[in-house]
């Protein structure tokens, strides 16, 4: 009798669930839910880099997507579901009360952005991150050594401290702070005591400074001398962490009834999307798994014995068991990738959006339809024309820090740039420069791993950009001078979550066994064009020079 599992993947704009046959990897059903409040950009202010998400978006999406999957599959398959695991963006923390309820779900906080989840891309805590980095130099132990040596405003403690400082009402009510990926399993298991919430080693190790070498968090002195508001705060958090192969618990009777599932469904411990996505994309040791969406998360696994006491500087952390239990998971990434293409598309969309509606030639409905048709075709046409260009070494050149720099060496104060523009610069030429910049940013990450003694033997491409843009992927191979394999699955993060659900439920003893059986393999491979490798190396050197200039101006 077949056994089934559900993987739930919380992205930036939407949540998607897939129902999978755990014995074959066959995807039975899938469903996507776009966050309605986020779609309206409620509680956000892009100018101030404030991006908040309401927990109701998450709860409504969880229920709707799973129900849709089960309705598509039918009651017989629903009765055979054995496990559910989830992944989320991160670091995406929120203040909660003693029951583990996000404050935004309480009447007095329902419209308060500071009581909502602080999305990964929220950079309102750049000052707090800078303070943490300076503060860490005052101690004989380097408490940032397992997060690449630099703390980011995208991470747990910077966001927590920022909210505590600016909002006394949230500060007085918060019994603890939790990551999105830890909260959803807690909800599904009917948790009502935040001290009993099982926290994943993935979020704790990569974003919250938890490390086995420290026996947990850095000592209270580290936090209390950073800001008295943090004195004793670690006692409000947790001491133990768990891998995603372990159980968070069993589904509550309430959620089993709401979703139409058996009462014995196992709920796995949660993790971040790229970490589970790397598993769904069948990561291999020393192959960089690149989840390419609005941003990128670049994942690499290595045997514990190979890493020993080595700490890789300038990345987003190295944590035992954060990707595959028993191996060191190393994380890097770019703060903006697809977001850069979306930004340029939005700029080019402006005339159609703002002028067609007032046209005296066509009616409003036709104008809207025409505008949407143009917008939908824009990136594909830009890619086609950019691919046909003959680009010189001195052509338009861009730096990809439009949303700051995640790695190497996190700095969210940095900004992007486009140079070498002249009166011959066209939309395809500028787009070509932007694509180059994202590929150069990816190469900087690979170079850092290699410089730190971590070999990169190949690339695995995952996510929407990898699947949809041969132009970008071919340039990536040329810039990197190494092949990049594209995974077949359209939903590698959700599939990875499903693999962990199968492991947590006991269908497989190890997640590697689930990967072997449930993995969908690869359907494309891009190999570097030898004729372009040297050209892009020259352009990459110019990219580094421009980046160094921008960084120097930022410091000044």
Residue with tokens 């129900």: 67
CA dihedral (275, 280, 282, 285) in degrees, to 10, reads 10
Helices (H), 117-179: 126-136, 156-166, 168-173
The tens digit of pLDDT for each residue in 202-250 reads: 999 999 999 999 999 999 999 999 999 999 999 999 999 999 999 999 9
Tallying the residues shown for the chain, one arrives at 556
Whether residue 466 is contained in a domain is answered as yes
Q: pLDDT value at position 1?
A: 81
Whether residue 468 is contained in a domain is answered as yes
Whether residue 434 is contained in a domain is answered as yes
Q: Which helix (H) or strand (E) holds 131?
A: helix 126-136
Q: Rounded distance, CA 194 to CA 176, Å?
A: 7
Average confidence (pLDDT) over 407-416 = 92
Number of domains present in the structure of the chain: 1
Contact call for residues 280 and 491 (beta carbons, < 8 A): yes
Whether residue 65 is contained in a domain is answered as no
Q: pLDDT value at position 556?
A: 64
Whether residue 156 is contained in a domain is answered as no
Whether residue 111 is contained in a domain is answered as no
Mean pLDDT taken over the chain: 95
Residues 6+ apart with CB under 8 A from 31: 16, 17, 64, 65, 66, 68, 69, 72
Number of H helices, E strands in the chain: 20, 20
Q: Which helix (H) or strand (E) holds 221?
A: helix 220-226
The tens digit of pLDDT for each residue in 55-87 reads: 999 999 999 999 999 999 999 999 999 999 999
Q: Rounded distance, CA 61 to CA 392, Å?
A: 48
Confidence category of residue 354, pLDDT binned at 50, 70, 90: confident
Q: Rounded distance, CA 83 to CA 393, Å?
A: 53
Cα of 327 vs its chain's centroid, Å: 20
The tens digit of pLDDT for each residue in 18-48 reads: 999 999 999 999 999 999 999 999 999 988 9
> What letter would DSSP give residue 210?
-
Q: pLDDT value at position 356?
A: 80
Cα of 173 vs its chain's centroid, Å: 29
Task: Tell me the two tokens of residue 482.
Answer: 């190494």
Q: pLDDT value at position 527?
A: 97
- Residue-number span of the structural domain to which 364 is assigned: 338-487+523-553
Angle (deg, nearest 10), helices 530-555 and 427-451: 90
**DSSP SS3 for 170:** helix
The enclosing domain of 350 has a CATH number of 3.30.420.40
Whether residue 372 is contained in a domain is answered as yes
């Amino acid at each position: 009798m077949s056994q089934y599992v559900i993987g739930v993947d919380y992205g930036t704009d939407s949540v998607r669930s897939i129902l999978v046959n755990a014995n074959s990897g066959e995807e039975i059903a899938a469903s996507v839910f776009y966050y309605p409040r986020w779609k309206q950009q409620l509680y956000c202010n892009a100018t101030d880099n404030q991006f908040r998400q309401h927990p109701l978006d998450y709860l409504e999406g969880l229920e709707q997507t799973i129900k849709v999957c089960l309705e598509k599959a039918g009651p017989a398959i629903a009765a055979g579901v054995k496990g559910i695991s989830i992944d989320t963006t991160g670091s995406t923390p929120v203040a909660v009360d003693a029951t583990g309820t996000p404050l935004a779900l309480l009447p007095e906080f329902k419209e308060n952005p500071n009581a909502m989840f602080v999305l990964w891309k929220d950079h309102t805590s750049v000052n707090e991150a800078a303070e943490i980095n300076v503060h860490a130099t005052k101690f004989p132990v380097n408490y940032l050594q397992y997060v690449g040596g630099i703390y980011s405003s995208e991470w747990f403690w910077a966001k927590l401290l920022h909210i505590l400082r600016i909002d006394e009402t949230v500060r007085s009510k918060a019994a603890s702070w939790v990551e999105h990926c830890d909260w959803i399993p807690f909800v599904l298991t009917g948790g009502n005591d935040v001290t009993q919430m099982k926290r994943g080693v993935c979020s704790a190790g990569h974003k919250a400074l938890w490390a086995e070498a420290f026996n947990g968090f850095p000592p209270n002195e580290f936090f209390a001398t950073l800001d008295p508001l943090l004195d004793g705060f670690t006692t409000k958090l947790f001491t133990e962490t768990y891998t995603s192969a372990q159980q968070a618990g069993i589904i509550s009777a309430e959620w089993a009834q709401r979703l139409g599932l058996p009462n014995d469904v196992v709920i796995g411990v949660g993790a971040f999307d790229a970490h589970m996505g790397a598993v769904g994309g069948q990561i291999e040791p020393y192959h960089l798994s690149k989840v390419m969406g609005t941003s990128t998360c670049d994942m690499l696994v290595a045997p514990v014995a190979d890493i020993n006491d080595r700490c890789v500087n300038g990345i987003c952390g190295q944590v035992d068991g954060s990707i595959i239990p028993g191996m060191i998971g190393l994380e890097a990434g770019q703060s903006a990738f697809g977001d850069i293409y979306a930004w340029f598309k939005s700029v080019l969309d402006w005339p159609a959006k703002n002028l067609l509606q007032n046209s005296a030639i066509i009616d409003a409905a036709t104008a809207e339809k025409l505008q949407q048709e143009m917008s939908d075709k824009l990136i594909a046409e830009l890619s086609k024309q950019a691919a046909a260009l003959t680009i010189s070494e001195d052509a338009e050149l861009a730096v990809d820090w439009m949303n700051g720099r995640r790695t190497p060496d996190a700095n969210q104060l940095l900004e992007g740039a486009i140079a070498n523009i002249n009166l011959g610069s066209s939309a395809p030429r500028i787009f070509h420069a932007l694509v180059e910049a994202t590929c150069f940013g990816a190469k900087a990450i690979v170079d850092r791993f290699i410089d730190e003694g971590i070999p990169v033997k190949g690339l695995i491409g995952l996510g929407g950009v990898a699947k949809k843009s041969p132009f970008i992927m071919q340039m990536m191979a040329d810039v990197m001078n190494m092949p990049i394999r594209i995974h077949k699955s359209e939903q590698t993060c959700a599939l990875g979550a499903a693999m962990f659900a199968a492991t947590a439920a006991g269908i497989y003893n190890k997640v590697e066994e689930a990967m072997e059986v449930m993995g969908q393999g690869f359907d494309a491979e891009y190999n570097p064009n030898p004729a372009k490798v040297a050209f892009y190396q020259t352009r990459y050197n110019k990219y580094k020079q421009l980046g160094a200039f921008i960084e120097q101006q930022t410091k000044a």
